[in-house]
Amino acid sequence: MRISGLRFKTYLLILFVAVFGPVGNVLLSKGMKSVGALGDWAPANLLHAASLATTSSALWLGFACLVVSFVSYMLVLSWADYTYVQPASAISYGVVALLGHLLLNEVVEPMAWAGVAMICLGVFLVAQTSPHTSLAGANAAATLAFTPTNARTTFTADLVSDSVEQG
């Protein structure tokens, strides 16, 4: 089964959302734990915590990962339906549980793993549907598939193969 170019881009960007978001949050967590908890909100304590936070490489890397996740999310929403993207990006819940367990040494209860497995099954089911069901989504996909070549214009097979896969 060949995956069309547009569907591949959709999967790739959803993967970026699902991986970079949780990795960014794990790095934020590690960075803030290195800064430490604030005992009170006195201006001097806030200023000290802010100076520690701005020098934390984990926080900056976490912020960069979250920016990659957010930009990927915005890009994929420019052509794929929200009702496809949001459930498909829920695979990040599995990534969160895995990273929390492996990198933060958090205990993930068996019931939580069962819930994560159910979410992943739901993501698998959503991935079997078309990323664009509305006319607006199809038009956006057609615009992305439209490429000028020399003096004439051609369409790539992305939109057509997505339609064939759906039908």
Summarised one tens digit per residue, pLDDT across range 12-35 is 999 999 999 999 999 999 999 988
Say whether pLDDT at 6 is over 80.
yes
pLDDT at 5: 83
pLDDT for the residue numbered 65: 98
| Nearest in space to 81 (alpha carbons), one of 144, 125, 129, 119 | 129
The answer to whether residue 158 scores a pLDDT higher than 60 is: no
Amino acid 128: pLDDT: 85
Instruction: Return the pLDDT at 133.
Output: 65
What separation in angstroms does the CA of 157 have from each of 15, 144, 145, 163?
23, 11, 8, 10
Query: In the 8-state DSSP scheme, what is residue 151?
Result: T
Q: What is the pLDDT of residue 1?
A: 53
CA separation for the pair 45, 64 (Å, rounded): 26
Write down the pTM of the prediction. Answer: 0.71
Of residues 105, 108, 126, 145, the one with CA closest to residue 18: 126
pLDDT at 141 > cutoff 80: no
pLDDT single digits (tens) 77-115: 999 998 889 888 988 999 999 999 999 899 999 999 999
Give the whole-number percent of the chain exceeding pLDDT 70. Answer: 77
Cα distance between residue 27 and residue 21, in whole Å: 10
